[in-house]
Amino acid sequence: MTDNLKAANTPSSATPSTAFPQGKNVIAVASGKGGVGKTWFSVTLTHALARQGKKVLLFDGDLGLANVDVQLGLMPKRDLNDVIRGRLSLDKVVQHYDEGGFDIIAGRSGQASLSALPSQRLALLRDQLLDLAKRYDVVIIDLGAGVDRTVRMMSASAIRTLLVTTDEPTSLTDAYAFIKLGAAAGMSKRVSIVANQAPNPIEGEKTYKTLLKACENFLRLNPALAGIVRQDPRVKDSIRSQTPILTRSPNTEAALDVEKIAMYVDALIKKAATA
């Protein structure tokens, strides 16, 4: 694992920039690689915040491989593709998810043009989202996996990015790469770690500390731990049933863990509002 992280510690070509506009109530959810439960976590975090009385918007920012609507069993009539093509403004594609009590902006799965937007169009979309965010208590952006230009720009618009990882070596290596590129772009203090699919809290702490040690040794950074989400068979059950776990199994360990992280997010936003 350490050897993999050393290999990832190569000079970065990212250009430092702190000029991106930010939303003080915007939280991004990212992962260095796919398959770590990022979208499930985004959906559950949004639902948990809504259950805490917040007005929340979930934005499917995985442009090209969107699947928030799939996880929730929705068939949206309008989505980001309508905005990209200039047919509708962003606020017109918002859909309320009654069962969860929150709003959604769906993406368009398999639409490669969305993932290859020119920088100006992407910046316009980001600006529209930040303007729309003023109507909400919290906006959660479910980013695509990886560290491409779209992910970096949307991540930079958030006050904090929750980076989801597991104990798999490839997941940790890619999470480290995400942090490194973010640091090169001036976002070194805006990433917190979520250790997902942990067999137990002790193993979750080990996952976090492995990543933390690499960041401290190679980047002189110490990203905070947002929380640990325990492995739970009812997560797969909720995904298969296209029903949020907080609806289907609200008292399960994984659901309770995400609710704790929702309190962490709430504290971040309250702090940002007074800064």
Instruction: Note down the domain range covering 32.
Output: 2-8+24-274
CATH number of 207's domain = 3.40.50.300
Alpha carbons 224 and 168: distance in angstroms, whole number:
19
Q: Has residue 45 been placed in a domain?
A: yes
Q: Has residue 18 been placed in a domain?
A: no
Range 8-35 average pLDDT: 73
Q: Which of 63-67, 82-86, 167-171, 255-259 has the lowest mean pLDDT?
A: 63-67
CB distance 197 to 231 below 8 Å: yes
Query: pLDDT tier at 20 (50, 70, 90 boundaries)?
Result: confident
Q: How many CB atoms lie within 10 A of CB 268?
A: 21
Q: Quote the pTM value.
A: 0.92
What is the number of domains present in the chain?
Answer: 1
Range 192-214 average pLDDT: 98
Range 165-169 average pLDDT: 97
Burial status of residue 101 (CB atoms within 10 A of its CB: 0-12, 13-18, 19 or more): middle
Q: Has residue 17 been placed in a domain?
A: no
Query: pLDDT tier at 133 (50, 70, 90 boundaries)?
Result: very high
- Give 63-119 pLDDT, tens digit per residue: 777 789 999 999 999 998 889 888 999 999 999 999 999 999 998 765 655 567 788
Q: Has residue 172 been placed in a domain?
A: yes
The confidence score (pLDDT) of residue 10 equals 47
Q: Has residue 19 been placed in a domain?
A: no
Q: Has residue 83 been placed in a domain?
A: yes
Q: Has residue 13 been placed in a domain?
A: no
Q: Has residue 15 been placed in a domain?
A: no
